[in-house]
Amino acid sequence: MTSLSVTSSSSVSPARRRIVWGVRVLLALAFGAAGAAKLVGVQQLVELFGAIGFGQWFRYLTGAVEVVGALLMLIPAAGLIGGLLLTATCVGAVATHLLLIGGSPVPATVLGVLSAFIAWRQWPVSRPAATGSRGS
C-alpha cells in the first residue's frame, strides 16, 4: 500500500524550497500583471486579441485564467493546479504565436517551462507506507 505526499514537504532542502517559491512568486507577478492588463482592456491587447479572431470574450477568459493561475501560485497547496493551468495557457499562447499572429513565442515558452517546473515540483509522489518496523 502506498501513500501520496507532495514534494514541498520536509523531504525538500531549504534551498530548493526557496527556489521553488521564488519561481512561484515570479510567475504570480508576471501572470497577474498580464491577466490584469487583459481584463482592463489595454489597447495593444485589445488589438492583439482582435487579430487572433476569436472575439474579445477570449481576452477576458485568458485574463481571468492568468489571474486565477497567479493567485493559485501563491497558495501553498494549490501550486500544482496553478502550474498546470498556466502551463496549458502558455501552450495555447505559443500555438497562437506560431499559427495565427506571428511574433516571438519565446516569452510564452519561458513562462510555460517555469509553470511546468512548478507543476512537476508539486506533483504528488508515491511513497511506501510506514510498516511499523524500522531497519528490516
Mean pLDDT of 67-88: 97
Query: Angle, to 10 degrees, between the axis of helix 106-122 and the axis of helix 14-40?
Result: 130
20 lies in a domain? yes
The Cα 35–Cα 68 span in angstroms is 9
User: Could you tell me the three cell numbers for 99?
Assistant: 499559427
Question: Which burial class, exposed, middle or buried, applies to 87 when counting CB atoms under 10 A from its CB (0-12, 13-18, 19+)?
Answer: buried
Cβ neighbours for 15, distance < 8 A, ≥ 6 positions apart:
none
Q: What is the average per-residue pLDDT within 47-69?
A: 97
In a domain, 50, yes or no: yes
What pLDDT is stored for residue 125 in this prediction? Answer: 81
Q: Which domain holds residue 100?
A: 12-124
Question: Does residue 95 sit within a domain?
Answer: yes
pTM, two decimals, is 0.83
More confidently predicted of 6 and 68: 68
Express each pLDDT in 8-18 by its tens digit.
Answer: 455 678 999 99
Q: How many domains in the chain?
A: 1
Residue 59 lies in a domain: yes
Rounded CA-CA distance 121/136 in Å is 30
